[in-house]
Amino acid sequence: MDSTVRIGREKLEQFCTNVFLQLGLPEQEAIDSSKILVAADARGIGSHGVGRLWRYANGIRKGIMLGTATPQILRDTPISLVLDAQGAMGMGISKKTMEQVISRAKTIGASFASIRNSNHFGIAGFYTELAAHEDMIGICMTNTAALGVPTFGRTAMFGTNPIAISVPATKGRMFTLDMATTCVTRGKVEVYAREGKRLPQGWAVDTTGKGTADATRLLDDMLYQRGGGMLPLGGEGELLGGHKGYGLAVLVDILTAVTSGGDFGKSVMDSEATSARVCHFFGAIKLEVFRDPQEFKKDMGRLLDELVATEVADGCDRVYYAGLKEHEAEAESNRSGVPLTEKVVESLRKIAQESGVSFIL
């Protein structure tokens, strides 16, 4: 397993910003994209962090991701916004769109937006927390390349299709649920393949629809859509609720792609060069439309306190609520540096050489 190197957060953000600037991104988009990428690593979500920088660099160089694209407004009402990203980088346009959603919600109480023809946008929880910091409930979803197999099926028909929701509480805390609607993300399967480990039972099926432990073969079959894929939350069949995860995954396709007129299901495909064009959904709801925000957050704080104070199962150390592990990891990263594997550091060093940007180590 790769050992870990810690790099100061600001240094890592500046390095990524310099790479994006060299690739031709406008300054603010380069800064925003870097902050979102590094936030993933800071929170311990390495599958969505700077290890993906090569995909963005490759996508920009090949003209698949367009740093200078101007989004097209498809529909605009006081409560909603629908955009065609025109192939823009996913992170910059997503941050701007969520900020617009928040601004409208401040006036009208709630607002929503969907985007089509975009690219990978990092961790969904970054955007929901922008709303939570403004005393709102934040909602965010994105579809992804088809990697998930429906209950009783054997062909990938939907993506990992994450859902994120953030709700603020007292003492600066917040509940942030940021989860894939498949059992695992592709990033975790990639880790198993890299380390030569067999997949746990119940994560995925092969081209026949039977369980598979071969991570490398699975990744190859999913890339070329030969069949097989990852199982929805709950796993195989209906006994443990796999059909519920399947339903959630399709719901994400509906809210992100059907609302925006974008691609959904098996039409969303990655390539060896870069990630697929995808669709996003954003929402913000003021706490004030329900009750006094301070009273709301007080009850939220009590709920979170009760969850972490509950009795711990034998052999376990503590109970968490959604987002607590990530927020604690982020606090440690801010103190001690952002943790990166040596393999990721080596990929950044290669990007620095190719881009003519000074490396941080």
Amino acid present at 137 = I
Is residue 40 situated within a structural domain? yes
The Cα angle at residue 147 between residues 143 and 149, in degrees rounded to 5: 110
- Residues 6 or more apart from 154 whose CB is under 8 A from it? 205, 206, 207, 208, 209, 227, 228
Q: Print the domain residue range for 38.
A: 1-61+337-361
Return the pLDDT at 1.
Answer: 52
Tell me whether residue 109 is in a domain.
no
CB 33 within 8 A of CB 25: yes
Domain membership of residue 87 (yes or no) is no
The tokens 């540096």 sit on which residue? 337
Does a structural domain hold residue 57? Answer: yes
How do residues 277-332 score in pLDDT, each as one tens digit?
999 999 999 999 999 999 999 999 999 999 999 999 999 999 999 999 999 999 99
CB 206, CB 177: distance < 8 Å: no
Q: How far apart are CA 121 and CA 226, in angstroms?
A: 26
Residue 176 β-bridge partners? 166
- The overall pTM is greater than 0.75: yes
Q: Within a domain: residue 355?
A: yes
Q: 205-251, pLDDT tens digit by residue?
A: 999 999 999 999 999 998 888 999 999 999 999 999 999 999 999 99
What pLDDT score does 304 carry?
98
Q: What is the pLDDT of residue 270?
A: 79
The three-point CA angle 180-31-23 to 5° equals 95
Which CATH number covers residue 49? 1.10.1530.10
How many structural domains comprise the chain? 1
Asked if the structure places residue 311 within a domain, the reply is no
User: Cβ(288)–Cβ(109) under 8 Å?
Assistant: yes
Dihedral (C-alpha) 134, 137, 142, 148: value to the nearest 10 degrees? 150
- pLDDT tens for each residue of 89-106: 999 999 999 999 999 999
Tell me whether residue 299 is in a domain: no
47: part of which helix (H) or strand (E)? none
- Whether residue 274 contacts residue 54, with contact meaning beta carbons closer than 8 Å, is answered with no
Q: Is residue 184 part of a domain?
A: no
Does 333 score more than 80 pLDDT? yes
